Amino acid sequence: MVVDELSDSDVDRLFHALADATRRDIVARAITGEHSVSALAAHYAMSFAAVQKHVAVLERASLVSKEKRGREQIVRANLDAVRKARRLLDEYEKIWRQRVDRIADILAEK
Amino acid sequence: MAVISTEKDIEALSLTLVAEFDAGVERVWQVWEDPRQLERWWGPPTWPATFEKHELRPGGSASYYMTGPDGEKSRGWWEFTTVEAPHRLEFDDGFANEDGSKAEEMGETHAVVTLEEVDAGRTRMTVASRFESADQLQQMIEMGMEEGLREAMGQIDVILAERASV
């Protein structure tokens, strides 16, 4: 069962991390390439510390990873976590597709 | 093909599914309204649902159980927040304990169902489900997948029984 790969608390961290617009934007930028935390901070009307906090939330949810390079911290997206979130919704979709098929069968009887 | 599209919003934890049926709006409404028809499609085939209560009106509630292949029961409840026959239905949906009380720790789903006529005798059904937490979504999925898992376990039992008799 694919859902077994993530524990409940993992999944909660993942969705919590993605529930914020700034954090989604950080993930979107990190997907297209490497960014330092200070480069990311330049995009948002908030303090460097606040952006760093957002990155930490994303890191705990395994959505991004951070790597020290000299004096900079480089942020990279971890696409596996995004794919897993999607898989959960895929599984729920299957349940509804089966229901729709059964409704169609009932309607076809008359 | 009945399902036209699905849209998943990972951030908002929602799934929107659009399906079309070759039947009028009134007829499709019946599969929600009539508990005997509803129970033929809500539960997975090996976990058929039985609706003990189905008050399809605003503020009304439904209670049902699904019966597994080994006779075990899994209970659920609905609470209708909007009922506008035959076009719109909104309800909260969750698991129940053995005594029928809400299993609060499992959370709930909010569903919005709309039915509209696209052509004469053809109906589009849109179901939007929103989850309150990822845990709760996972519970829903595990319930739906339990069926397959149990079948697999049954096959293992058969294999083990064959070995034992050799």
Model confidence over B50-79: pLDDT tens digits? 999 999 999 999 999 998 888 888 899 999
Dihedral-angle region of residue B33 (phi above 0 means left; psi in -120 to 50 means alpha; beta otherwise): alpha
pLDDT digits (tens, 9 = 90+) for B79-107: 999 999 999 999 999 888 888 888 877 67
Residue with tokens 């999925």: B141
Average pLDDT over residues B34-46: 89
Task: Give the gap in angstroms from C-alpha A106 to the nearest C-alpha of chain B.
Answer: 8
Examine the pLDDT at B134 and tell me if it is beyond 80: no
The residue extents of the domains of chain A are 2-109
- Amino acid present at A50: A
Q: For B9-33, give one letter per residue: b (16+ CB within 10 A) or e.
A: ebeebbbbbbbbbebbbebbbbbbb
C-alpha–C-alpha distance, residues A29 and A43, integer Å: 10
**Confidence label for B9 from pLDDT (cuts 50, 70 and 90):** confident
pLDDT digits (tens, 9 = 90+) for A62-98: 888 898 888 888 998 877 666 655 676 777 788 889 8
Which residues 32-61 in chain B show a CB within 8 A of chain A? 37, 40-42, 44-45
User: Closest partner residue to B42 among A3, A18, A99, by Cβ?
Assistant: A99
- Amino acid present at B55: E
CB B76 within 8 A of CB B84: no
Which residue in A1, A26, A95, A97 has the most chain B C-beta atoms within 10 A of its own C-beta, making it the best mutation to test that interface? A95
Examine the pLDDT at B27 and tell me if it is beyond 50: yes
Could you report the predicted ipTM of this complex, rounded to two decimals?
0.78
Q: Does B118 touch chain A (CB under 8 A)?
A: no
CATH topology (fold) of A2-109: Arc Repressor Mutant, subunit A (1.10.10)
The strand pairing partners of B64, in sequence order, are B51, B76
Task: Provide the 10 A C-beta neighbour count for residue A98.
Answer: 15
pTM metric for this prediction: 0.64
Q: Which residues of A touch B18 (CB under 8 A)?
A: none
Say which residues have a Cβ less than 8 Å from residue A3's Cβ, sequence separation at least 6: A87, A88, A91, B138, B141, B142, B145
Q: At what angle do helices B134-165 and A8-18 cross, to 10 degrees?
A: 150
Do B134 and A110 make contact, defined as CB atoms within 8 angstroms?
A: no
Dihedral-angle region of residue B100 (phi above 0 means left; psi in -120 to 50 means alpha; beta otherwise): left
> Please, what is the average pLDDT of chain B?
82
Dihedral-angle region of residue B148 (phi above 0 means left; psi in -120 to 50 means alpha; beta otherwise): alpha
Q: Which residues of B touch A108 (CB under 8 A)?
A: 22
Which of A2 and A106 is assigned the larger pLDDT? A106
Give chain B's domains with CATH numbers.
3-165 (3.30.530.20)
Examine the pLDDT at B156 and tell me if it is beyond 50: no
